[in-house]
Every structure is written in structure tokens, then in C-alpha cells.
Structure 1
Amino acid sequence: MSKQDLEANMQKSVESTQRMFNTIRTGRANSALLDRISVEYYGADTPLKSLATLTTPDSQTIQIQPFDISSLAGIEKAIAMSELGFTPNNDGKIIRINVPPLTEERRKEFCKLASKYAEEGKVALRNIRRDAIDKIKKQEKEGEFSEDQSHDEQESIQKTLEKFIAQLEKHLADKEADILKV
């Protein structure tokens, strides 16, 4: 595994964690909150953003305008059944969701959730590191690397891991600050 491949894999892991952070409420309306919602549409689970235009006309409202009016009831049901705790308001053409301000207790819960996502991201990064080091040890056994080269490569991989974990920690700190900001 080349250094570029290693960094690309680690970057993908950090970006995946960042996308998970985006699905956590911060008290302001954000259409990314609805990214994980799938709607039953003609017998298939379809992502909400494939069925409708999501906009935020103000800081407390998310507006959903379906491309196909017949999907309105399904979208409303999927939002109501989700763990987000939103109550959709349907006027026959558009669904509006009022995003209430977060309580202090709820903010702390969301910080814990963000920490959990960050820990999952770190585990993914460590797994990438482990795979890369295993590959290097295998190459050392086969005689492709000397012991010193193997040690240097493993140190390089560890430094790369530390760099990406620092990135993840920064994203987590930013998200927690965003969640706690009233």
C-alpha cells in the first residue's frame, strides 16, 4: 500500500465521520439533518434528497418540496418515524419542519453522539493503519524490506495516523462548539 493510498483511505474515513457529524442537530435548521432519512417510494427505500428539494428559508425551518406530489404522505411518515423527533407540517404541496431550539440536556446528548462518531472514525483509521503495517511485516518476511526499512515504514504510517486523528479531533471540537453554541 503506497503512502498516497494510505492517506486517501484515511482521508475517506475522516470525510465519512464528517458526514456523520453533519447529521447531528445544532439548533439551526440544516437540510443535512435529513440525509439519513429514506422514504418508501413505489416499494423501494429511496433517499429523501432524491425525492424532493430541501431548503432552509430561515434558521428555524426546513422546507421539503417533493418532485412528485404523490410521495408527500410517504415523506411525511418517514420524517415522523425517524429518530430526529421532528413533527412535519404538510400543506398539501410542501412539508415544513420547525426546528425547535435545543435544550441544554439535548445539546449534551448530541455532544456524546458526536464523540461516539469520532471514536468510530478513529477505530476505522486504526484499522487502516493495522492493515498497512501487516502488509509491511509480510513484505519484510518475504525479504522485500530490510528490518530497518520496515521499521521506518511503520513509523511513517504511525505519523500519518496521528495526523488524521488530529484532523478528526479538530472536526469533533468544531462540531461540539457548534452544538453548544446557543
Structure 2
Amino acid sequence: MSESVLKDTRSKMQKSLDNLSRELAAIRTGRANSNMLDRVTVDYYGAQTPVNQLAGISVPEARMITVTPYDKSSVDDVLKAIQQADLGVNPTSDGTMIRITVPQLTEERRKEFVKDARKEGENAKVAVRNVRRESNDELKSLQKDGELTEDDLKGYTEDVQQLTNDYIEKIDKMCDEKESSIMEV
């Protein structure tokens, strides 16, 4: 039973790490990246639809993203959604394709993005620590029910703490890598 608690703990902590990875991918660096558009949704026939389901997205140059809607009548809707997404870019359309030129980031803007990345990292750490607390509570209730001895409880809580330390280290590493890619000129 307690092995399943550890397995659950590892799985939940990995989900927190995966979520952080998605959040960091959406934070802009100085280069064009199709992940910038992951959060953009378009009102398409009354339904909020992610732009990557409505259009082909490519990065032909280091500072340009092209978005080619599959349905040519939705070009204006996609353009409007990108403008409203507050990505710090100014998309232009030629009627069939949308071009997004990614401007060079200023030092101040870079620092803002680093702050956002650190905040996401902190949120991930909080999530991992909450998983640790839940797992420890579950182990304590197993010990209370007589399914674990006190020594077993101590060993499993140490395992949970080791998992927590490993995942926090991974989170720090991901945030440091993102910070260096943001600050790179």
C-alpha cells in the first residue's frame, strides 16, 4: 500500500514538472517560438478553439512566425485573437497568412519575463510541497490504521522527502535554463 503512495507521489510531482514546462514554454524569449501561441484561443463558430487547431504555425526565420489558417475565412478572427492575447507582438495579415515579427526584447522586458519564469517556478515548488504534505498525511493515516510500523513510516517519509528534493532541484534547473535563454541577447 505504501509503495502505491510513493508511486502516486512521483506521478503527481511529475505532473507539476510537466505543467511548469508548458508554462515556461509560453514565456517569450528573444527568438520566435511557436509555443508563444499555445494560450491563444479563437472564437470559431461560437467555440473557443486553440489557434494551433485552426492553423498551421511555422517559424521560417529566427524572429518571425507565420500562421496559415486552414479556413481562409477565419484569418481575421485568428488575427484578432493574436492581437488580444497581449503577447507583445504586432501581427500583420495579407489575407491568407498572418506574419508575426518578434521584436528584440529590451533589458527591462527581459527582466520582467525572468520574474514571470521565477514565479511559475515558485508555483511549481508549492505544488510539489503540497503533494509531499498529502503523501505524508496518507502515510501517517496508514500507520494509524496499523498497516505501517513507526520505522516504516519514517523510511517512507524520508523517501517522499528525497523525491521532493529531486523535483525541486529539477524545477530550479528548468528555471535557470529559461532565465539564461531569456537574458541571451
What residue is the counterpart of 1:77 in the other structure?
80
Deviation at 1:2, TM superposition (A): 3.4
Segments of 4+ moved more than 3 angstroms: none
1:21-60 to 2 correspondences below 5 Å: 21-60=24-63
What residue is the counterpart of 2:70 in the other structure?
67
What is the rounded CA distance, in whole Å, between the counterparts of 2:109 and 2:28 in structure 1? Answer: 10
Deviation at 1:141, TM superposition (A): 0.7
Deviations 1:57-88 (A, max 9, x none): 00010000001011111110011111212111
Deviations 1:5-48 (A, max 9, x none): 22122111101101100001110000001100110000000001
Aligned counterpart for 1:89 among listed residues 80, 88, 92: 92
Deviations 1:127-171 (A, max 9, x none): 111111110010011111111111111111000000010001000
In the superposition, the TM-score normalised over structure 1's length comes to: 0.98
SS class of match (2:58): strand
What residue is the counterpart of 2:163 in the other structure?
160
1:130-149 to 2 correspondences below 5 Å: 130-149=133-152
What residue is the counterpart of 1:180 in the other structure?
183
Unaligned runs of 5+ in 1: none
What is the rounded CA distance, in whole Å, between the counterparts of 1:48 and 1:127 in structure 2? Answer: 33
1:4-15 to 2 correspondences below 5 Å: 4-15=7-18
Deviation at 1:4, TM superposition (A): 2.6
What residue is the counterpart of 1:105 in the other structure?
108
What is the rounded CA distance, in whole Å, between the counterparts of 1:132 and 1:40 in structure 2? Answer: 41
What is the rounded CA distance, in whole Å, between the counterparts of 1:103 and 1:79 in structure 2? Answer: 21
What is the rounded CA distance, in whole Å, between the counterparts of 1:2 and 1:129 in structure 2? Answer: 10
Unaligned runs of 5+ in 2: none
What is the rounded CA distance, in whole Å, between the counterparts of 2:52 and 2:123 in structure 1? Answer: 25
Q: CA RMSD in A?
A: 0.8
In the superposition, the TM-score normalised over structure 2's length comes to: 0.96
Q: Percent identity?
A: 44
How many residue pairs get aligned? The number is: 182
